[in-house]
Structure 1
Amino acid sequence: VSVIHPVHIIIPLPLEESSEELKNPFKLSILKVRPVVDLALDDAYRKFQYVPPDSMAITYRDSRLSDAHGPNVAIQQLVKNRLDCIIGYAFVYALAPVARMCPYWQDDDSNGIPVITSIGLTMNLDNKEEYQTLTRISGPYKVRFF
């Protein structure tokens, strides 16, 4: 990991907050998330020195809360060979197909693409054989609302 060989991270979210609560229950947006990511990067680079400065290339893409357009933003990055990790998706129907395909997106230096999300709470995403590279940073509904 270096400036010459950065980790390419895509953050696919809607550009702005949407009123479509069923599609975006946590009201995630690029405009809200970008400042938090900037602070985290600053800590990773300078405060904790986990990785060299500027060694993570963050790309924000508007997913449009669409189950058609949303997955394509990840595929576009994959085709450009600029995809090492996905953090995000606000809409579970955009997340699910990408999380299903990511284990198969392998090449000489990758065994699939990790997907990290805060919204994958539905029980159908519990199947680790189907969603091998998916990491949820909050528990599923069955745990949260028991």
Structure 2
Amino acid sequence: MIFLFLLTLTNVGTTFSRNVNVAVLLPFDDDRLFSLKQIVPAITLAIDEINNRTDFLLNKMTVRYADTKCDIAYGINHAIEFYMKGQVHAFFGPVCDFAVAPVARQVQFWNLPMISGGAMARDFFVYKDTTYGMLTRVGPVNFETLSLMFGKILNHYKWNRLKLLYESSGQDYIVTGFCHLLTEALHYDLLTVHPKIEQDYFRLDEGVDMDYILAREIGHHYSRE
């Protein structure tokens, strides 16, 4: 996928620049999903393959890297720096959803393509033809397909009540806000596709009494058939 994306860029870059410049915006923290260390080998192989061929590329492809820290501010800051220095024709990343959003909105004004292995949140699908028109998602999973799966399970077993419990910082080591974004997607997707299903959601704060929460929030209403 990386090779095909970079190959497409060569047809764009040769018309106006000696080099095709790709800005890679990824977290450098190895514990993060799609960290730089995990992705660099694939990018290096793709770049070497393209630069060593002369049948379709007259120029060279250059890649520059910056650490987003999976943070909403760092990603857009680096993107602006690359753009102002004239060092980017396309963006690879960010991947963390809160880092993706401002960059994906901005590249529309720059008319620059962006590819992300993340961007799992519902908004990236709902507004893909408007707000995020220059973003291409290539990740292995996204939340709208997960919502479809949940909908099919509920229909199959004829369940018509659903209560979503989530932790505000749950699974943040993967992507910041992961559980919040997942719950939001499930809630609104199911409201749209299965409006007859009664559902609600509740955030579990740190240190809560689970016995009390289960009795109050789940109780007999959501636990019975």
State whether TM-score is above 0.5: yes
Are 1:30 and 2:36 an aligned pair? yes
Superposition TM-score, scaled by structure 1 size: 0.79
Does residue 75 (structure 1) correspond to residue 80 (structure 2)? The answer is yes
- Normalization by structure 2: what TM-score? 0.53
Matched, 1:124 2:108: no
| Structure 1 CA distance for aligned equivalents of residues 146 and 89 of structure 2 | 30
C-alpha displacement at 1:42, in angstroms? 2.1
The amino acid of 1:29's aligned partner reads: S
**Residue 185 of structure 2: aligned partner:** none
Give the structure 2 partner of residue 108 of structure 1.
none
1:7 equivalent in alignment to 2:20: yes
Query: For residues 143 and 47 of structure 1, do their structure 2 counterparts lie closer, same or farther at Cα, with a shift above 3 Å needed?
Result: farther
> Equivalent pairs: percent with the same residue?
24
Equivalent residue runs for 1:20-99 within 5 Å? 24=32, 27-46=33-52, 49-52=55-58, 55-99=60-104
Q: Distance in 2 between matches of 1:59 and 1:66?
A: 19
Contact 1:43–1:49 (CA under 8 A) maintained in structure 2: no
Structure 1 residue 59, shift from structure 2 partner: 0.5
SS of 2:106's equivalent in the other structure is helix
Question: How many positions carry a matched residue from both structures?
Answer: 131
Spell out, residue by residue over 1:113-137, the C-alpha distance to the aligned partner (whole angstroms, 9 max, x if none).
1110110121101211111101111
Give the SS at the match of 2:47: helix
Residue pair 1:87, 1:116 contacting (<8 A) in 2 also: yes
The RMSD of aligned alpha carbons is: 2.1
Is the 8 Å Cα contact of residues 116 and 136 (structure 2) preserved in structure 1? Answer: yes
**In structure 2, distance between residues paired with 1:50 and 1:120:** 31
Separation (CA, whole Å) in 2 of partners of 1:45 and 1:142: 37
Q: Which runs of 5+ in 2 are unaligned?
A: 1-13, 150-225
Alignment gaps of 5+ in structure 1: 19-23, 106-111
Q: Which has the larger helix fraction?
A: 2
Q: Deviations over 1:79-128 (max 9, x none)?
A: 101111001113111111110111111xxxxxx01110110121101211
Instruction: Give 3-state SS (helix, strand or coil) of 1:68's partner.
Output: helix
From the superposition, tell whether residues 144 and 40 of structure 1 become closer, same or farther in structure 2 (CA, over 3 Å). Answer: farther
Greater relative contact order, per chain length (Cα 8 Å cut-off, separation 6+)? 1
- Once residues 68 and 116 of structure 2 are traced to their aligned partners in structure 1, the CA distance between those partners, rounded to angstroms, is 14
